Structure formats: structure tokens, C-alpha cells
Amino acid sequence: MTGEKARKKTSNTIRERHASDRVFSAVVIILSIAIFITIAYPLWFVVIASISDSNLVNQGKVILWPRGINFYGFSQILKDSRIAIGYRNTIIYVVVGTALNLIVTLPAAYALSRPDFKPRNAVMLYFVFTMYFSGGLVPLYMTVQALHLISTPWIMILMLLVNTYNLIIARTFMQNSIPNDLYEAAQLDGCSHFKFLLKVVLPLSKAIISVEMLYYAVYHWNDYFTALLYNSKNQYEPLQIVLRRILLLNEAYANGNGGVQGGYGQRSADQVKYAVIIVSTVPILCVYPFVQKYFEKGVMIGAVKG
């Protein structure tokens, strides 16, 4: 009888555990669906509003599906030569800037991860110090001016050559994931630090390289503040500045100031606003699927210890 009671008790415990697991799974699914809707609906609304009649959007009649479909806003901004120039400049800044970021960040992270580099903690302290303290905007502007980088394309590329947070992630990844025994074995074969970095460390660091590439590319794609402060030439403007000017001009039209040069008119003011959001975000969103398999692994491993 004692054994039978024990079996019944165990069976009841398992059923209760299964019931609690089902409740927990149901709660997780409901919360996940709610979070997905919260994130996805604003994106979907921007898409349908960009191709819907502006009057219906303003009246709140466009909720789930587009109404009065037309592509007037897209046609207006895509035939604007400023958009093409902005895209060209931004693509150059993203490609060249990200490449230089990786060229500087990865060797620095490798050097700081080496246990035989004695002053690595002191050097790392200098990098971390810049995360909390800066000289201010005016001294920074004077420095950029002294380097003759004002109104040049190089200011958009060199302004953030090394991001301290990205450097810490890369250093931690290499420190925790690349065994020192590999370097000792390579050293016996006459391998230098430079060859070891190129032939061993970088091939084993695809995850963190993909994460760093994504972080730097997103920064360069979204960077408009640098151009706003340090650039005054239209031929060097990135896409974000061009789109910002289009939005401001069309806001002026929407407010009744039809004499502003370079705007698109009252009819397309709202459609242009939503189309601009899509034009500026879709290209960088297309990058994520290609680095998704590395992204989680790289972030988790690189952020375990500072």
C-alpha cells in the first residue's frame, strides 16, 4: 500500500508539473504574440500609410489595410536627384567606414586580449575612460577643424573609428574563446602575432566579426549628427540629412507655406513622410537575415565578462 501511495503521489506531482508547464507555455505564447503585435503593427502602419490616401490616414480610416492606394509619395522622392546622391554617399560611408572600423578594432581587441601584453589593463582603462568622460562639443569641433576635416567626406568615416563598447565585446570574445594553447602551438612553428591573428583568430571569430560589422554599419547608416555639425557641402550629405531636409520642407508645405523651394506640395506631404521612413530603414533591415545566425552567439559570448 505504501508503494501504491507513493506512485499515486508521484503521478499527481507529474500531472501538476505538466499543468503548470502548460500554463507557463500559454503565458509565454500570449506575451510573445502581444510583444510581436506591439512591434510589428507600427511598422505595418507605416507601410500601408505610405501608399494610402493621406486624407483617409489623417481621418483614422486606415487601420489594417491600405485605402485609396497610390504611390505618389514614393514617385516624388525616388525621382529626386538628392535621394540618389544621399544613397551613394551613405553606401560609401557605410562600406569604407565599417571596413576601417574592423581593421582598427579587431587588432586592438586581439592585443588587449593577450595575457603577455603587460600594460593591457592600463590601455583598456584609457579606452573605458572615454565612455564616461569627453572633452565636449566645442573642443571636439576645434580638433576636427584643426585636422582640416570640416566639410570633407572623411569626417563621416573617421569620426568614430573605434567604439569602446564594440572593442570590449571583441576583446572579451577573443579572450574567452581563443585558447592560449593555440598561440603556443603556432609559436612553435614560427608563427608571429600578425600571422596568428590573420590565420587563426579571425577565422575563429566569424560570430563576433559579424556582430561588430552590423553594429558599425548601423551606426554609419543612421549617423546624421556628424554631417549636421561638420558638413556644409551638399555633395557630401548622407541619406539621413537629405531625408531630414525633405521632411522639413514638406512640413512647411503641410503648414501652408507653399513658397518653400524643394518641397513636393500639400498633396504628398504626409505620404512623403511615411515613404521617407521606409526608404531609410528597409536597406539596413535587409542586412539582419545574413548575420542572424552569428548575432546571438557573438553577443552572448562577447558579453560574458568585461
Give the per-residue pLDDT at 251: 61
Least confident of 7-21, 186-200, 253-267: 253-267
Confidence class of residue 17 from pLDDT cuts 50, 70 and 90? low
Mean pLDDT across 277-284: 80
Give the per-residue pLDDT at 54: 77
Q: What is the mean pLDDT of the chain?
A: 79
The rounded distance, in Å, linking the Cα atoms of 46 and 276 is 10
What DSSP string describes 121-170? HHHHHHHHHHHH----HHHHHHHHHHTT-TTSTHHHHHTTS--HHHHHHH
Interior angle at CA 128, CA 182 and CA 146, nearest 5? 115
Q: Give the pLDDT confidence of 66-100 residue by residue, as tens digits.
A: 887 888 778 777 777 788 888 889 999 999 999 99
The rounded distance, in Å, linking the Cα atoms of 143 and 145 is 5
Q: Give the pLDDT confidence of 22-66 residue by residue, as tens digits.
A: 788 888 899 999 998 898 888 888 888 888 877 777 777 888 888
Query: If DSSP codes are grouped into helix, strand and coil, which group holds residue 51?
Result: coil
Q: Give the pLDDT confidence of 119-132 residue by residue, as tens digits.
A: 888 888 888 888 88
Per the model's pLDDT, the better-predicted residue between 273 and 239 turns out to be 239
The rounded distance, in Å, linking the Cα atoms of 98 and 216 is 6
- What is the pTM assigned to this prediction? 0.76
Is pLDDT at 149 greater than 50 in this prediction? yes
What share of the chain in percent tops pLDDT 70?
A: 82
Give the per-residue pLDDT at 260: 43
Give 174's contacts (C-beta < 8 A, 6+ positions apart). 109, 110, 113, 201, 205, 208
DSSP state of 52: S
